[in-house]
Amino acid sequence: MNWYSKEFVWLDWVIIIVGILAIAWALWHSIQKSKRAQHGADSQDFLFGKGEPWYIIGAAIFAANIGSEHLVGLAGTGARAGVGMAHWEMQGWMILILGWLFVPFYQLMNNKLGKIITMPDFLKNRYTPATGSWLSIITLVAYVLTKVSVTAFTGGIFLESLLGLPFWYGAIGLIVLTGIFTVIGGMKGVMTLSAIQTPILIIGSFLVLFLGLAALGGGDIGHGWTAMIDYSKSLSVGADGVAYGTNHMFHFETGDPMYDEYPGFWVFIGASIIGLWYWATDQHIVQRVLGQQKGEPSDAVMKRARRGTIAAGYFKLLPVFMFLIPGMIAAALAARPESGFTLDNPDMAFGSMVKFVLPAGVKGIVTIGFISALVTSLAAFFNSCATLFTEDFYKPMFKGRTEERYVLVGRIATVVVVLLGIAWIPVMMSLGSLYSYLQGIQSLLAPAMVAVFVLGIFSKKITPKAGESGLIVGFLIGMARLVANIFTDTGANVMTGWFWESTTWFWQTNWLIFEIWLLVFIMGFMIVVSFFTKKPTAKQVEFITFTSDYKAIIRKSWSWVDILASLGVIACCVAFYCYFW
């Protein structure tokens, strides 16, 4: 047997089959043990999970974030555009905002409502019931359009590049497998699989990184890193013949071909807006920190949640090295014909690297981790959709039903999301570049979400109608820009006629700059509306007011260890920015 074969051999396939069966048994055992412990079905446990240890929470947040868009999109972007996309990944500091600032507010509402809240719950109680319903609708639509379908689509590409499966077999197979897994396992299954796949994913990806650098450097990792940086410096050649390079995160020169995509400091601000929405207010992520044991003290819940976010902050430093830089290595290797490595499609960079650099047997082990990551990420979206539908639509309409009924409804909601995800893939494939599509959607959804949550939590003067109006108006403006993007190819087409010529500022403005000004507009709009509408009630203000007793609970929930660990995350992010400035 050739241990250094550039393709999968029989040993890899045996390891994949045995590994998947072993993971299935471990999941089944964990789920059955949990069911025996709770003596029957429990919708809260199915949807949120119980109070997991902080390191499991950190792994779950990390695993929920890592999906096929990283294995395909991030590695492909690294091969195509270097470290420019790292702004969206070097956000461990942003996860700290969830743990230190937002978790106390969410836990306060948990205590006052006597249940684990969803994000629409927060808006219903801070603003109006309609605001929460709008958020549920927007979130469900966004998950189908930007999460489920994108993950399945890129998963199909990844499995095609790695295992040679036809695209549709991989995409539909991934959705069906994940749908079955989510219906049976619920949040407990997601948490358990997260703990299993995270170490495999991290170790496997770093093997690809180091062995790829060694291949590029003739056996020397240091020389490989230098060769990768040197090659990236020769890219992004402007019309003036100057190579501006793809080895830095900020592009200030207008002659740089990458300036239009990553314009100066705007890219950092725009990425931060998306990051705040995703890491601090998105049900998909926040759901990982809301689980708790019945009767557990609030300070213990906050301590575990905060430490889980700190752990996730360190985990979040890794994807750039796990996926983006291997993509840059792949591009540098492909530029050397003597290396024997070829790369026809940048989106296949990571799967091709796995086959090229890993020895037989290790390929199979690492593939198990990658497949688990695909399933975990997609399952997290399915589970969040089930939670939103059950908690925010079904339970309020049909109160007093059995826990078994609520679990069943959650499972049916998951099946519906699966079907919608499959149905949307052909439509999405016709809308152009996948990663541009994904980024564009997020930049149009984030401003409204960030405005209503930030002003709702940190300002007692914003009125209920201002929150409702801000969310609706912001969403409608974002969708109008999306429609314009479809017609104009994101501003690239030359459009004629009085309508297009009179609205050039709307459809041609850089997507990041548009996102920032949209956030400013929505916040200003909410402040103005607050002057003319009824003030929030005392009860609504009470939901976001910390009493002296609650402040004491918050203070009890952290120590100098938490502060020091958080500063470590920030220091790592700053060091990365300094190196790739």
pLDDT tens readout for residues 78-118: 998 899 889 988 999 999 999 999 888 888 887 777 766 67
Residue 287 near residue 384 (C-beta atoms within 8 A): yes
Q: Does residue 230 have a pLDDT over 60?
A: yes
The H helix count followed by the E strand count for the chain is 29, 0
- Whole-number Cα distances in Å, 542 to 85, 125, 126, 539: 41, 10, 9, 5
pLDDT at 546: 85
What percent of the chain shows pLDDT beyond 70?
89
- For residues 37 and 142, membership in a common domain is answered with yes
36-40, 462-466, 501-505, 528-532: the lowest-pLDDT one: 36-40
- For residues 180 and 281, membership in a common domain is answered with yes
- For residues 425 and 467, membership in a common domain is answered with no
pLDDT at 379: 75
d(CA 386, CA 45): 13
Tell me if 302 is assigned to some domain. Answer: yes
DSSP string, 244-289: --SS-S-B--TTSTTTTTSBTTHHHHHHHHHHHIIIII-HHHHHHH
pLDDT at 534: 94
Question: N- to C-terminal Cα distance for the chain?
Answer: 46
40-44, 137-141, 490-494: the lowest-pLDDT one: 40-44
| H/E segment holding residue 143 | none
Residue 94 near residue 257 (C-beta atoms within 8 A): no
Tell me if 564 is assigned to some domain. Answer: no
Could you identify the residue written with the tokens 């972007």? 77
As a whole number, mean pLDDT of residues 398-416 equals: 79
Domain end marker among 395, 430, 465: 430
Distance, CA of 341 to chain centre = 31
- For residues 425 and 446, membership in a common domain is answered with no
Q: Report the 10 Å Cβ neighbour count for 421.
A: 30
- For residues 404 and 450, membership in a common domain is answered with no
d(CA 515, CA 119): 22
Tell me if 579 is assigned to some domain. Answer: no
Tell me if 552 is assigned to some domain. Answer: no
Residue 287 near residue 45 (C-beta atoms within 8 A): no
d(CA 554, CA 165): 51
Q: Does residue 45 have a pLDDT over 70?
A: no
pLDDT-based confidence at 165, cuts 50/70/90? Answer: confident
- For residues 176 and 285, membership in a common domain is answered with yes
3 state DSSP class of 91: coil
- For residues 96 and 233, membership in a common domain is answered with yes
pLDDT at 5: 72
- For residues 459 and 348, membership in a common domain is answered with no
Distance, CA of 530 to chain centre = 33
Of 354, 416, 408, 406, the C-alpha closest to 382 is 416
Three-class HEC string of 318-385: CHHHHHHHHHHHHHHHHCCHHHCCCCCCHHHHHHHHHHHHCCCCHHHHHHHHHHHHHHHHHHHHHHHH
pLDDT at 176: 78
d(CA 41, CA 540): 33
- For residues 161 and 82, membership in a common domain is answered with yes
Q: Does residue 194 have a pLDDT over 70?
A: no
pLDDT (tens digit per residue) in 278-313: 898 887 788 778 765 555 677 888 888 899 999 999
pLDDT (tens digit per residue) in 118-162: 788 888 889 998 998 888 888 877 877 777 778 788 788 878 877
Range of the structural domain that residue 452 is part of: 433-545
- For residues 276 and 291, membership in a common domain is answered with yes
Domain end marker among 382, 399, 430: 430
Q: Structure tokens of 147?
A: 């999460």
d(CA 325, CA 119): 35
pLDDT at 42: 47
- For residues 119 and 216, membership in a common domain is answered with yes
Tell me if 554 is assigned to some domain. Answer: no
Q: What CATH number does the domain containing 178 carry?
A: 1.20.1730.10
- Whole-number Cα distances in Å, 553 to 57, 108, 111: 21, 10, 12
Statement: the pTM of the whole predicted model exceeds 0.75: yes
Q: Structure tokens of 144?
A: 């189908």
Distance, CA of 472 to chain centre = 23
Q: Name the most confidently modeled range: 116-120, 207-211, 347-351, 502-506.
A: 207-211
pLDDT at 469: 96
Tell me if 474 is assigned to some domain. Answer: yes
- For residues 336 and 458, membership in a common domain is answered with no
pLDDT at 436: 62
d(CA 297, CA 292): 9
3 state DSSP class of 314: helix
Tell me if 560 is assigned to some domain. Answer: no
Of 122, 125, 115, 160, the C-alpha closest to 139 is 122
pLDDT at 187: 57
Domain end marker among 430, 464, 490: 430
Tell me if 573 is assigned to some domain. Answer: no
Mean pLDDT over all residues of the chain?
Answer: 83
- Whole-number Cα distances in Å, 81 to 77, 262, 325, 539: 5, 10, 11, 50
**Alpha helix (H) residue ranges in 459-559:** 464-488, 498-502, 504-508, 511-532, 538-542, 548-556
Q: How many domains does the chain have?
A: 2
3 state DSSP class of 538: helix
As a whole number, mean pLDDT of residues 29-41 equals: 59
